[in-house]
Amino acid sequence: MQFDDMGFAKVDTGRPERCGAPEAVFCEGKTPEQVALIVQKLNEGPHAVLATRADVATYHAVQAITPEAEYHESTRLITIRKNTPQPDTDRFILVMTAGTTDIPVAEEAALTAELMGHRVERVFDVGVAGIHRLFAQIDIIRQANVLIVAAGMEGALPSVVGGLVSKPVIALPTSVGYGASFKGLAALLGMLNSCAAGIAVVNIDNGFGAGRLASMINAMR
């Protein structure tokens, strides 16, 4: 139950033992200097480090005191890879998107799962507007142990995928779409109202949450 009190933050250094994965740093609302010090503290431990929603200024502050940190610009992730568990090659997480514009959020999920030691495969741009593209990927879709399906607009793709597979589907609504999509709210509500069984839904643009949940499911025996 240990943590390190830094004054402005109480860093949960005991989370890997308690929950099976280290604390992730949510960067929005924190100063670059605060994030840099939190990452430095987490990096003192033996586990990989992940910071989400990081802009370039925040990354530069982190890199100044933790040079091994990597920045993934499209997903706004900062990662430090170390002691990553060896993936089980027989079980993999499939990350799918309805459109190309959903890829940044989907990649947040994919990189999160990879950092937690899982094999991740990707199938992008297979939305319902051209559903033949989805059916062309049916073999890999049915081989996956867990599926993360990212979609904006009306959020229909997870329902279609849920009707094709016998494995858990994690629906990831994105804020992609025109005005009546309400920045992802329409996709979120559509996914919550899916008639397909076996679908769980995370919050809008929460790629980290989807990747973490998929990792927990994939690690179960």
Over residues 93-110, the pLDDT tens digits come to 999 999 999 999 999 999
Q: How far is it, in rounded angstroms, from Cα 156 to Cα 187?
A: 8
Portion of the chain with pLDDT greater than 70, in percent = 100
Domain membership of residue 192 as a residue range: 92-219
Same domain, 127 and 75: no
Q: Does the residue 87 lie in any domain?
A: no
Question: Do 10 and 42 contact (CB within 8 A), yes or no?
Answer: no
SS3 (DSSP) at 10: strand
Q: How far is it, in rounded angstroms, from Cα 148 to Cα 91?
A: 14
Mean pLDDT in residue range 131-158: 96
Neighbours of 122 (CB within 10 A): 15
For 34, the token pair is 């605060």
What burial class does residue 74 get, using C-beta atoms within 10 Å of its C-beta: 0-12 exposed, 13-18 middle, 19+ buried? exposed
> In terms of DSSP bridges, do strands 77-80 and 70-72 run parallel, antiparallel, or are they unpaired?
antiparallel
- Verdict on whether the full-model pTM lies above 0.75: yes
Same domain, 98 and 58: no
What burial class does residue 57 get, using C-beta atoms within 10 Å of its C-beta: 0-12 exposed, 13-18 middle, 19+ buried? exposed
Task: Kindly report which listed range (8-17, 173-182, 189-198) carries the lowest average pLDDT score.
Answer: 8-17
Question: What's the structural domain count of the chain?
Answer: 2
